[in-house]
Amino acid sequence: MSERSDRIDRHGARRQLTLAVVICAAAAALALFAASRTWRIEVRPRPEPLPAVTTTRSGGDLVPALPALALVALAGAGGLVAARGRGRRVVGGVLLGSGSGMAIAAAASAGVAATDAAAVNGGPGSAIAMVWAATCAISGAIVAGVGVVTLRRGRTWPGLGRGYEAPRPGAGGPDMWEALDKRIDPTGDNTSRMTG
């Protein structure tokens, strides 16, 4: 009975980790996409007969921290899988910080977009900017939420298998790279020399 409950617990922990990684990656990718959209269209009139100069600015142009923090969060989603123990707690803290930073920066830029909208009588460009800024803020809050959950429950989640870790010095067992350097077949009985 305890073996079965242990298997169920491991399955539940793996499901939680998978869900955290997918949600974090999706939210970070959405924030990155929203930050790459046009948030402001600036039109500068010029004397006749010259046409007005139109400049489009993305969210990343207006708030450079947004795409940078979204990339950190995207990397953190991969870090959730690779890290374990204290390393995973560090990743959780990074996700909490990057998500909070995204949410705060996007909320501040939404306030600027609202001011711009009032200044130009609610131009459509400003309304779209507010939508993209809100998307970044919500995505940041989701990433921060994943960071909080990681800090609380991350130590129960499984990590990569030991086969992905580098061998520790003095841990015993053959070092495959050293065997190859000495031209010894590491898959055999370590007594046969490689030819060629």
Q: Which residue spans within 21-65 are E strands per DSSP?
A: 38-44, 53-58
| Angle ∠(52,58,63) on CA atoms, nearest 5 | 120
Helix (H, G, I), strand (E, B) or coil at 14: helix
**Please, are residues 139 and 102 in contact by the beta-carbon 8 Å criterion?**
yes
pTM of the model: 0.70
Poorest-pLDDT segment among 33-37, 56-60, 63-67? 56-60
With bands split at pLDDT 50, 70 and 90, how would you rate the model's confidence at 7?
low
H or E element that contains 29: helix 2-36
- Res 161 pLDDT > 60: no
Q: What is the DSSP string of 116-171?
A: HHHHTTS-HHHHHHHHHHHHHHHHHHHHHHHHHHHHHHGGGS----GGGSPPPTTS
Rounded Cα distance, 143 and 28, in Å: 7
Q: What is the pLDDT averaged over residues 7-31?
A: 87
The sign of the CA dihedral 40, 98, 22, 81 is positive
With bands split at pLDDT 50, 70 and 90, how would you rate the model's confidence at 196?
low
CA-atom Rg of the chain in angstroms: 25
Rounded Cα distance, 34 and 103, in Å: 13
Judging by beta carbons within 10 Å of its beta carbon (0-12, 13-18, 19+), is residue 169 exposed, middle or buried?
A: exposed
Residue-wise pLDDT for 85-115, tens only, equals 888 999 999 999 999 999 999 888 876 555 5
Half-sphere exposure of 8 toward its Cβ, with a 13 Å CA cutoff? 5
Helix (H, G, I), strand (E, B) or coil at 185: coil
Q: What are the φ/ψ torsions at residue 94 (nearest 5 degrees)?
A: -65, -40
